[in-house]
Structure formats: structure tokens, C-alpha cells
Amino acid sequence: MPAKFRRPLLLAVGALLATAVAVPVGSAWAAGPESAAPSAPGSHAEPRIVGGSESSLADHPYAVYLTDENGSQFCGAVIVSPSAVATAAHCAKALPASSVRVVAGRQDKRTDDGVELAVARVWVDPDYTDPTKGADVAVLTVRGRLPYRAAKLADKTAYRDGAQATVLGWGRLSEGGQRSDVLRSVDVPLVSDSGCKTAYDSYDASSMVCAGYPEGGKDACQGDSGGPLVIGDTLIGIVSFGDGCAKAGKPGVYTRVSTYASDIEAQSQPRLLG
């Protein structure tokens, strides 16, 4: 069965978002928008934090989320500079930039904490076509300033089989389950490239990295797409896709940040704004 992307929560809005972007969900997922609406047809993404616990922005101030103009959260993102966040390309393409807001400093979505900033500019990796083919990375430049610490970008030395990493998000607590109102996190080990290739025929070690337990039980899910996978404060992955959520033998797949670090850094500079 082909891998499905963890679609954005907004894509759950069904017909409304179906025309915006097809983010795989279901048995496989690609992180992306997920609002209260049903999932978009043909989408396979179901990003969320499964098997984790509430986390604190005091420990992870770079974790942010994306909403539509009505305030519905659909994806995650991560601060990479005072003026920009990185996210998944399939999240960036889910809605027009004018409809997207970046919410930072808000651990509980039911509060008014932190800041909400509009998006001034969107960069999507030119090689992106869909999550299972890699290059699932984008940078959103905000209108204003993000007054929180940015994550560091990984280099090639950050990836060691079995290393414990942390994935963060506000997505669903189980496949098709309840959405979280608060930031959650779960620790998952990095999986070898050979193990990822066994799980997903489309796995590309140059652009992707996998994380998860052989028995499943802990993973990202719907609504977590675009969010960070970190070791300490170093961003090593961006939630991209997977087969279901927390399934045995199906680790989550993340964009390999080290491959795109120079592009992310270049696109994060305020001078690029026209």
C-alpha cells in the first residue's frame, strides 16, 4: 500500500480544502493543515502526537503552529529566525499565504497568549511535488517579529541510528481521534536508512529521515505536519508523512533538515523581503 501523507488539519475540512492541496492521510499521512472539517479526498496525511504528553514552550519556544484566517490550526512549524518559520511544503501549499497565520508563544490554543502574525512571503523548495518524493520543506516569512528563540539547524553529523529525538505538535492524540488543545511531545528513536526503506519503498535517505519504535505506539499524527523533530534545540526533521499513526513497522517520516539547511537559512533572512 502506498504511503499516505499526514494531511494538514485544514484538509480535514473536506470539500473546502480539497481544491487547495492533496495531503495524504489515512493509512499514511503527510503533515499539513487540519481543521474541524473532513479530510480532503485522496489525501493521506495524518500528523499528530500519539503516545506523548503535554510539553512546555519554556523548553521548546521555537515550536509554533499555523492557522487559517478563522483561527483553525492545521499544521505545525518551527521558528528558524526572528522573521521566519520552517514548515512542510505540503502545509505551505494547503492555503493561500493571505489566509495563513503563524501563532507563536501559545502553548494552549484556548488562550490568547503569544503573538499571531500574518505571512508576507512563502518559499517552497522548487523540487517539491508531494511528500513521498522528498523536498517537503518551506519557509514562511512573517509580517512582524517572532520574539522567541529559534531552533538551530542540523548538520550531517546530527543523524545517528537509535538517537532519541523529540517530535512536537498540537495534532490529534490518535488516528482519527481528538485534537490536542495544548502542545504535546513524544520521544522517538531515529531509524536506520535501511529500516526506513523497508517500511517505505519511496524512502530517500538524502531528503528524509525516519523515527519511531518497531512496535509503534509513539508517533506524530494529523495536525502535526510541518512541526519540529529535534535533538536538544537542534532541528533535525520536519514532520512530513507516514502510514497511519504510531503503527508497528511504520515509523514517521521527516524532512531531513541538514539537506536543506542552507536554503532554510538563506530564505529566513529579512533582506529577502521585497
Residue 74 parent element (H or E): strand 73-81
Q: Which residue is catalytic, options 68, 125, 130, 136?
A: 136
Sign of CA dihedral 74, 79, 85, 90: negative
- Residues 201, 207, 208: CA angle, nearest 5 degrees: 60
Q: Is-catalytic flag, 225?
A: yes
**DSSP secondary structure code for residue 12 in this structure:** G
For the chain, state the CA radius of gyration.
16
Q: Indicate if 136 belongs to the active site.
A: yes
Catalytic-residue membership of 90: yes
From 27, 35, 39, 90, active-site residue:
90
Active-site annotation holder among 225, 240, 258, 268: 225
Q: Mark 245-256 as b/e (b = at least 16 C-beta within 10 Å).
A: bbbeebbbbbbb
Sign of CA dihedral 216, 236, 184, 143: negative
Catalytic residues: 90, 136, 225
